[in-house]
Amino acid sequence: MAISIPSRQLFIDGEWKVPLLNNRFPIINPATEDIIGHIPAATKEDVDLAVDAAKRAFSHNKGKDWSSAPGSVRARYLRAIASKITEKKDELGKLEAIDCGKPLDEALADLDDVIGCFNYYAELAEGLDAKQNAPVSLPMETFKSYVLKEPIGVVALITPWNYPLLMATWKVAPALAAGCTAILKPSELASVTCLELAEICREVGLPPGVLNIVTGLGNEAGAPLSSHPDVDKISFTGSSATGSRIMTAAAQLTKPVSLELGGKSPIIVFEDVDLDKTAEWTIFGCFFTNGQICSATSRLIVHESIATEFVNRLVQWAKNIKISDPFEEGCRLGPIVSEGQYKKVLNCISTAKSEGATILIGGSRPEHLKKGYFVEPTIITDVTTSMQIWREEVFGPVLCVKTFSTEEEAIELANDTHYGLGSAVMSKDLERCERISKVRLILDYHKNCKTKGFYVN
Ligand code: NAD
């Protein structure tokens, strides 16, 4: 499919700006390995300009700046952005699919979430005005107290590639709604739709400097942003290793950070489940978006009495997943985002093999696809808890399996991880689901916990 990638620059102070060093890097279509365009590569000096623009837009013009504009004014821009995205949804969906390799229908579904998210925060921004100056009653009448909700300032928003525009929106929309000004640094592996968001901001007349978008490499653009003295807060989503670096940089300047990091989430399957429905959930939990989801349930912990039958059904499901170019009708699994990630996923699989695990299905490139970073849906058994495949996030279509005999053993296996994030329990016994979900709640609290789910079958 011929899709033309718009040629863009950095978006700073409401204008397109050529990076000061005039560097660009290639955009590679992961399904074909072809170079389909180029992305501007920002460096520290560009980041400085973007932060300066955001700082001026935040509060330079008392009374006219973004931070003191009524929520209803900010909401108008957010709604205008949502409506432009709605207009351009098909085009943006294609750009997302070709850039990061997700099936076109998934990319279009992400855009519905993007639109919903901008509208949602527009509503919150409108609601903010009415909540300002709410009185707080105090025991002593001499003192008056009230609540004023204020934006924190200039925020750095650093995002990954698995949901490029959606992850960016989850940060941009609330930041702008609250009255912050922002610098968005999307992933170098998928920046195309974030640059289109810049164009949309230009088209709706968002005041200059309110949102700046600098594309570039992590160490060249991300690092100077996270250590910039004029950034008041950092919001980061990405790998645990980068999160730790960002937290270290922020600590030097005692700057607040929000981190959304990696995971190796468990799914516990009890013996009383409906096998077919649970197999479908398990496949969805691990293989949706090619397993490139932070909360992918990639560790299956299944009761020993149903393990053989259940895993057989998973294998049947995995065989029927259509793996193809994201633009092909019915595609369920596209390519991995980049050559680097592709090699990392294959490497994790071959390490598992060399450590004694069994690759039950998958494990390599599908035979019918000679080019592109495609990996078959992979199910691995005979896994021990010390194996890398059990312990570390793969971020690819790889499910590893262990069995249990008692509830206590299942919980212990599930919690034996240095990650937090998601988890799932599958059982018809609601009390059991609630009991287990509470155990994880306590343990995960200390591990950057995000979601906990349980499904009753
Ligand atoms: P990554 O950590 O490699 O990169 C994320 C972002 O950080 C990119 O924009 C990158 O350029 C930037 N970056 C890299 N080094 C930096 C540095 N030193 N300073 C500042 N910025 C830097 O992650 P990724 O490979 O893009 O994404 C995959 C990871 O993201 C997985 O671990 C996944 O679990 C995680 N993730 C988490 C969530 C969540 O909500 N918890 C959601 C999506 C993805």
- The CATH number of residue 432's host domain is 3.40.309.10
Residue 456's region, left for phi above 0, alpha for psi from -120 to 50, else beta, is beta
57/78 same-domain check: yes
Q: Give every CB contact of residue 220 below 8 A, 6+ residues apart in sequence.
A: 41, 42, 43, 44
State how far the Cα of 269 lies from the Cα of 307, in Å rounded to an integer. Answer: 9
447 in a structural domain: no
- Domain hosting 57: range is 10-260
Residues 105 and 238 occupy one common structural domain: yes
Per-residue CA distances from 15 to 58, 85, 201, 419 (Å): 17, 19, 10, 41
- Identify whether 260 is a catalytic site residue: yes
What is the total count of domains within the chain?
2
The answer to whether position 111 is within a domain reads yes
- For residues 85 and 125, membership in a common domain is answered with yes
Same-domain check for residues 177 and 294:
no
Angstrom distances, CA of residue 163 to CA of 108, 184, 207: 11, 14, 26
pTM for this prediction:
0.94
Q: Which CATH number fits the domain that encloses residue 185? A: 3.40.605.10
Q: In testing the pocket of ligand 1, which one of 242, 391, 448 has its CB within 8 Å of the most ligand atoms? A: 242
Q: Which atom of ligand 1 is nearest to the CA of 226?
A: 20
Residues 247 and 281 in one domain: no
CA–CA separation, 4 and 428 (whole Å): 50
Q: Is residue 3 part of a domain?
A: no
Distance 239 CA to ligand 1 centre (A): 4
Quick one: what percent of the chain has pLDDT higher than 90? 87
In terms of domains, do 296 and 384 share one?
yes
Same structural domain for residues 296 and 349? yes
Of the residues 43, 51, 158, which should be mutated to test ligand 1's pocket, given the most ligand atoms within 8 Å of the CB?
158
Whether 25 is covered by a domain: the verdict is: yes
Atom from ligand 1 closest to the CA of residue 223:
19
Averaged pLDDT of the chain = 93
Q: Which of 237, 260, 283 is the last residue of a domain?
A: 260
Centre of ligand 1 from the C-alpha of residue 242, in Å: 6
State the pairing for strand pair 146-147/134-135: antiparallel
Distance 284 CA to ligand 1 centre (A): 23
Q: Which segments of 70-219 are extended strands (E)?
A: 134-135, 146-147, 154-158, 181-185, 211-213
* % of the chain exceeding 70 in pLDDT: 95
248 lines ligand 1 (CB under 6 A): no
- Residue 13 Rama label (left phi>0; alpha psi -120 to 50; beta): left
In a domain, 451, yes or no: no
Is the confidence at residue 194, as pLDDT, over 60? yes
Sequence letter at residue 331 = C
- Do 319 and 222 belong together in one domain? no
Could you tell me if 174 and 309 lie in one domain?
no
Q: From the CB of residue 89, how many other CB atoms can be counted at a distance below 10 Å?
A: 16
Chain centre to alpha carbon of residue 8 = 23
Residue 274 lies in a domain: yes
Instruction: Quickly list H helices, 384-456.
Output: 388-391, 407-415, 430-444
Q: pLDDT band for 439, please (50, 70, 90 cuts).
A: confident
Residues 307, 216, single domain; the answer is no
The pair of structure tokens assigned to 455 is 């499904």
Residues 333 and 351 both lie in one domain: yes
Binding site membership of 215 for ligand 1 (Cβ less than 6 Å) = no
Residue 1 banded pLDDT, cuts 50, 70, 90 = low
